[in-house]
């Protein structure tokens, strides 16, 4: 079974690449973030023609998540139970479902913007709600994973130059503590480090030639419980998909499992 996560940075803009990637990669379940479309604009039919069912949480603004599965899509939960509001709205940042033998979440953690911004406090509150929501499944015997764009680099090695992030979000002790608290529910980062290259980044800004210069961050993560982690046979960042015209600023993270 192949499960992946990918922040596509607009599913409508990226649709041709997404469809081509699904066909060539043989992915069974894809967690999508930053759909940037409303549910009514989501390309459900195009994906169904490839054999994928869709579970979507999107409102047409900057966020939006989805689960695409060709191995079943049951017991769908749209949204983060107990999640906080921002500006009076619960943003579409989580969707979960049972896909074949595994329970899977697709999450798009708030960015945080700046450390003294209200969005940063909201980010930490969102993490706490996520921890509470997944704790039961994380400690269970069924394969379970939370995949997505976490907007946190877990360690100093997960950014190209730590000095460039002095005083910025994504690397603060509070954000990393929130990640640690999530792991303490029974989850493990299943993507090994190092991979086939020294810095397995997953995101590179479009500006200042960040991708050619490999000035990136590892913020797209796969956290699985023991049953999920023990089934992993391979894991990698599909860095090639970040190349070329019309690419997202994130690369897919792919995990193979013997389930």
The binding site consists of 7, 34, 149, 151, 249-250
What local confidence, expressed as pLDDT, does residue 121 receive?
Answer: 98
What local confidence, expressed as pLDDT, does residue 204 receive?
Answer: 97
Q: What is the mean pLDDT of the chain?
A: 95
What local confidence, expressed as pLDDT, does residue 201 receive?
Answer: 95
Selection from 126, 202, 190, 129 nearest residue 159 by Cα = 202
What are the pLDDT digits (tens) for 34-55?
Answer: 999 999 999 999 999 999 999 9
Structure token digits, residue 112? 């945080």
What are the pLDDT digits (tens) for 96-128?
Answer: 999 999 999 999 999 999 999 999 999 999 999
Here the CATH number for the domain that contains residue 187 is 3.60.10.10
| Cβ-based neighbour number of residue 32 at 10 Å | 30
Banded model confidence at residue 62, pLDDT cuts 50, 70, 90: confident
CA distance 162 to 123: 21
Percent over 90 (pLDDT), the chain: 94
Residues near 88 by Cβ (< 8 Å), separated by ≥ 6? none
The binding site for Mg(2+) consists of 7, 34, 149, 151, 249-250
Q: What residues are annotated to the active site?
A: 108, 149, 250
Domain count, the chain: 1
Going from the C-alpha of 253 to that of each of 62, 184, 194, 209, the distances in angstroms are 21, 22, 14, 22
What local confidence, expressed as pLDDT, does residue 192 receive?
Answer: 73
Question: In DSSP terms, which residues pair with 4 in a beta bridge?
Answer: 30, 254
What are the pLDDT digits (tens) for 158-202?
Answer: 999 999 999 999 999 999 999 999 999 999 999 876 555 556 899
CA distance 151 to 110: 7
User: What domain range includes position 82?
Assistant: 2-257
Look-up of token digits 């982690």: 229
CA distance 143 to 123: 27
Model pTM score: 0.96
What local confidence, expressed as pLDDT, does residue 7 receive?
Answer: 98
């Amino acid at each position: 079974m192949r499960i992946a996560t990918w922040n596509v940075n607009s599913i409508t803009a990226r649709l041709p690449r997404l469809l081509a990637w699904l066909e060539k990669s043989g992915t069974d379940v894809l967690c999508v973030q930053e759909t940037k479309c409303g549910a009514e604009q989501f390309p459900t039919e195009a994906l169904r023609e490839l054999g994928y069912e869709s579970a979507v949480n999107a409102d047409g603004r900057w966020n939006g998540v989805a689960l695409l599965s060709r191995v079943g899509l049951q017991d769908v939960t749209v949204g983060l139970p107990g999640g906080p509001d921002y500006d009076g709205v619960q943003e579409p940042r989580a969707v979960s479902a049972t896909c074949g033998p595994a329970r899977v979440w697709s999450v798009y953690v708030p960015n945080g913007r700046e450390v003294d911004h209200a969005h940063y406090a909201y980010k930490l509150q969102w993490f706490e709600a996520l921890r509470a929501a997944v704790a039961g499944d994380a400690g269970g015997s069924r394969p379970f994973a939370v995949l997505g764009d976490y907007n946190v680099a877990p360690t100093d090695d997960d950014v190209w130059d730590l000095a460039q992030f002095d005083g910025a979000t994504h690397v603060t002790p509070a954000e990393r503590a929130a990640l640690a608290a999530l792991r303490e529910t029974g989850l493990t980062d299943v993507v090994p480090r190092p991979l086939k290259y020294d810095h397995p980044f997953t995101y590179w800004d479009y500006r200042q030639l960040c991708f050619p210069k490999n000035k990136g961050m590892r913020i797209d993560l796969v956290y699985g419980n023991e049953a999920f982690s023990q089934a992993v046979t391979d894991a990698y960042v599909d860095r090639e998909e970040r190349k070329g015209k019309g690419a997202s600023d994130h690369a897919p993270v792919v995990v193979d499992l013997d389930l």
